[in-house]
Amino acid sequence: MIRILLADDHSIFREGLKRILAERDDMRITGEVDNGDLLLTTLRKGAWDLVLLDVSMPGKSALELVVQIKRLMPVLPVVILTMHRDQMLASRFIRAGARGYLTKDCGLQQLLHAIRKVARGLRHLDEEVADVILEEIGNPSPDSPPHTRLSNREFTVLCRIAGGQTVTRIAEELSLSVSAISSYRTRLLHKLGMENNAQLTHYAFKHDLIK
């Protein structure tokens, strides 16, 4: 039996998916959470075979959650389930340690196949982004925009600044010091050739980085 922890902030979606998977003999949603902070707490309290993780939830960013899950439980597979068919975003999740990336408009059979495949230790990617993701990971293009060469933590800080969060708020949510976040911001400005938060925000919206 594949024991699944579902992390999604839409209760209707969670209920629907629970009912669908309850009809299968080899998998069950045995835990559910609606925000990133609760996900990490719940992980420590139970036994899971797979995490289904939505990208857009309150609390910690999904990218940061994947990194922390892999630190806590390196062998626990994570499958991203999202509305965003975004090759760059998908590539970051795979680099961070996710074993699967699916969009929520995928068919039921594809979802079931992905869960079973990832639970066996394999990787499963949305068909429309798979080739691009694997090519980008193996052979990053020198013509790629500058944000593709940021570290996952730098990318997370960029998105949070562009989302209007202060350095203090970002530090609290990422469990880091204010000085550490300020250092990340300084590196961002240098790597992207910018001078202030307004320019970072404009860049993020121009490249559709705010999900």
CATH code, domain carrying 169 = 1.10.10.10
Q: What is the pLDDT of residues 78-126, one digit of tens each?
A: 999 988 777 778 888 888 899 999 988 888 898 999 999 999 999 888 7
Find out whether 30 and 48 touch, Cβ atoms under 8 Å. yes
Residue 135: per-residue pLDDT: 56
Range of 181's domain? 146-206
Q: Are residues 41 and 118 in the same domain?
A: yes
CATH code, domain carrying 29 = 3.40.50.2300
Judge whether 116 lies within some domain.
yes
* DSSP per-residue string spanning 47-93: --SEEEE-SS-SSS-HHHHHHHHHHH-TT--EEEEES---HHHHHHH
pTM higher than the cut 0.95: no
Q: Are residues 23 and 118 in the same domain?
A: yes
Judge whether 50 lies within some domain.
yes
Judge whether 211 lies within some domain.
no
Instruction: Give the closest residue to 13 by CA, choosing from 57, 61, 66, 63.
Output: 57
